[in-house]
Amino acid sequence: MKKYVIRKVDGNGIDWDKLEKAEIDTYSWMDNAYRPRVCAALCYDAKAIYIRFWSFEKEIRGTHKIHNEMVCEDSCVEFFMRPKSSKYFFNFETNVLGTMLLGFGEERENRESVAVDDAFEIVSSVKNAETYQDEMWTISYQIPFAFLKKYYGDLDIVQDGLRANLCKCGDLTKYEHYGMWNPILVDEPDFHVPAYFGEMVFEV
């Protein structure tokens, strides 16, 4: 099981370059040899958890523009997380345009669809996937502790720590691919497998 330390920041701006990167470097289930470099960094303050992804890709797909559509069909990065003391996890799935799919539940089936609102402050470096000519794109957003409290009550998430995974996919991209930070040892593509989440602890 991989481990990542979520650093504490002071709220005066985040220097992402100084944070440790978690590499999404295990690709499974496809034999097309497409293995883009993708990494993520996380930090937190009293208000929220902050996350940024960097995806080094020359060709992207971005078609879904309405939250809670099937963004996994596009160039997509995903964050799965649950407090260690809870069985219930979130899947934050975000395509290259900043469109998010958000679900909550104990397993892949019977998940609750969660409304995505402005509190997440999603920022993408890509405005139009069709005119994209770069070699790398980024997604950043925050997860307010006030939002998490609605689902986990008074659980001290910072003290508890997380079980989590970071993933990259593109079901309908030119080269279908499935990457992850912590390896998932199942036969078919599936990121919703808490048994294979890695460990994330908060710096205090």
CA distance 102 to 116: 7
Residue 53 CB neighbours (<10 A): 25
Question: What is d(CA 89, CA 127) in angstroms, rounded to the nearest whole number?
Answer: 30
With pLDDT > 70 as the criterion, what percentage of the chain qualifies?
Answer: 100
With 80 as the cut, is the pLDDT of residue 11 above it?
no
pLDDT tens-digit series, residues 149-195: 999 999 999 999 999 999 999 999 999 999 999 999 999 999 999 99
The C-alpha atoms of residue 150 and residue 144 are separated, in whole angstroms, by 10
The alpha carbon of 152 is separated from its chain's Cα centroid by a whole number of angstroms, namely 19
- Structure tokens belonging to residue 168: 């990259």
Pairing of strands 100-105, 22-23: unpaired
Q: Which of 93, 143, 103, 99 is nearest to 123 (CA)?
A: 99
pLDDT category, 13, cuts 50, 70, 90?
A: confident
Task: Convert the pLDDT of each residue in 122-153 to its tens digit.
Answer: 999 999 999 999 999 999 999 999 999 999 99
Residues 74, 64: contact at Cβ < 8 Å?
yes
Instruction: Give the 3-state secondary structure of residue 149.
Output: helix
